[in-house]
Structure 1
């Protein structure tokens, strides 16, 4: 049951106010992957939902360092959009119900859709999938690092062992409150556990329809930050939080039935699933520019670190960029899915999901043939063997990833020039500024952005 199921459908605003809402936070995720928010007090809730909240279109070209770059698609400081809180996705940020969050759509002042809205871009691809007879589910796995100390002098909160019970117990009070807050928000986390790096934690979110899944990922990140602060901790979802350590990913799991035919069975991916996976595989270079677009993303995406450094797929192969997951024998075929390992939380979840869906749909429409699965670490092959098998290394630099995105007609068409052009401008600004710094300084510059 979602949070909104408990609201009075005739007047959800009164239900929120009667339930104790004191403040509503509404937000978008910009082309730098940063969540930008505005808030209204309870007494302004009805007006905000009716009229929207003003937001300059220039946010489309706001960069990771808060500088403002330029794009022909955005008229500088001129103009205004309206943030329209979507109360169908409203959720409390804690069990006390005092502060709620709702994702926002960007509309014109005439309340018409605007072509720079990232959430709308995902909605278009979701509608396209439904029209093709697909029932798509996405699920995000979010990795983050927990620190003690201050933002100026952070220290990882745990020192291992990786996946160990010791860090689990060290963080148990934080973990319990986090799970309770997620439950109160209608997000039924599937797993929460220490990860490989010191201080690293992963939370696995349940599968949902594409827009709902992206909303859920943003909600979960806010709750993590909020609960961490209540425990005197700091959390960071940045792709790398400690130079030289294993970085944080934001993996997307996707599956889709086609006219009720499941995504896979005991024999592996179904026919339509193979075409969907093949479409994503074909666009992986350009997808890297959307899913992993920060100045440290390529530093995280290195071989033999389970980060998907090579464009290939394999059944339960955690070194392949695309990992086919058949699931436990007791949960098949419903559990079958494909994990995309290249992404991180510096990407905009709405654009990442939209680009993945568009690539998969292109594979289905063109009936692309999926190559043979790779059943070992692709780094263990020689260069010649990888070439013979069609395995390629994904872009080694941010500029290479952005160039691949720029050349992808599939992704550009799906997102639209009004999103892609500002997106490239923002990320290239990052590459020419923060990207010129040594790794440790780049990590420091991004640590508290996400």
Structure 2
């Protein structure tokens, strides 16, 4: 009985302790210790390249037994598919994950933050505005897609018992709600975006801290070493190379360079530029995680077949197969079919114009000259042309051989190769020259009047 009484007396003090002070989020506790705090930036558009970078950062954190992962978020959003993959990476992490919003956690950035175990915002930051838009920035009105994305956002909010209505309001313009207890109201046509103070009241931020270190201190990891995960040189280059504008330029240079080198051989510069452009295109997408080894094989096979087409007669088969391999490699290497075809179309159109101009300027060097007889036999080189015979016009003679229609005739005491206008003339028949065309002598029979 004494034990029961002591337990009853202890209950109020436990409740009071729970209700006092600054609340802490419930985080994973299966990985504990004095390991370092890993700080990983989410400071770019959310796409496959960021996903590969975060996967590397999480793997390194596990390897060195980190006690906490902090994602410093400042992103305009990005691809939903990549956001889903990164969200799963955050949820499945055995190491606690803190989302520190130091700029904008817009669109898919909000989704990543909601999947973390805790959210801390920097003064002046923003979270929300997660409506779906297409590649040109126009709002998507498809009800099914909106419903799907809203379900994803509300599901992420419920992971840490956050109000799902607010997450839904970040995605659905038609949703209306009024929450006077936290001073938040949404009208139809609006998209919810939260300031740090609003997010704290709404339970969408667990604290507001000015620095990452203070956010880690608030989480209880103040004495731990902090390790900043940085982009490698290859990852930075990949981010630049996978920019849609840069990708289009690389495709343009690749197509124009290779085709010009094949059509106007002898310079080498165009071929080198084309191949380097294609290599950079595939390298950027490979490092970003968009492309696999098969895209390199398609690229190399396509290039080899295009070169062989120039030297091996294949009636265009090798050229068609090579072009198909290059196009397939370009499309498979890109992060989306739509973007790949769009960039390829623009690059191809621009390349055709440049190729036509270069071919016209250097037409004397074109590969087609190999199939055209361009040499001539001149007097200077020792070749003597047949002398014209205008003096024979009207002269008379006799056929020495049958003319069928060509043969030999004697005219003015000299033998000449002659030809009729198509008719047959027997031997020893009187003939007259009716036309002389250079060395060609045309004759006809002389009508003898009796």
- Give the TM-score of the pair, scaled to structure 2: 0.21
Higher relative contact order (CA 8 A, sep 6+): 1
Higher percent of residues as strand = 1
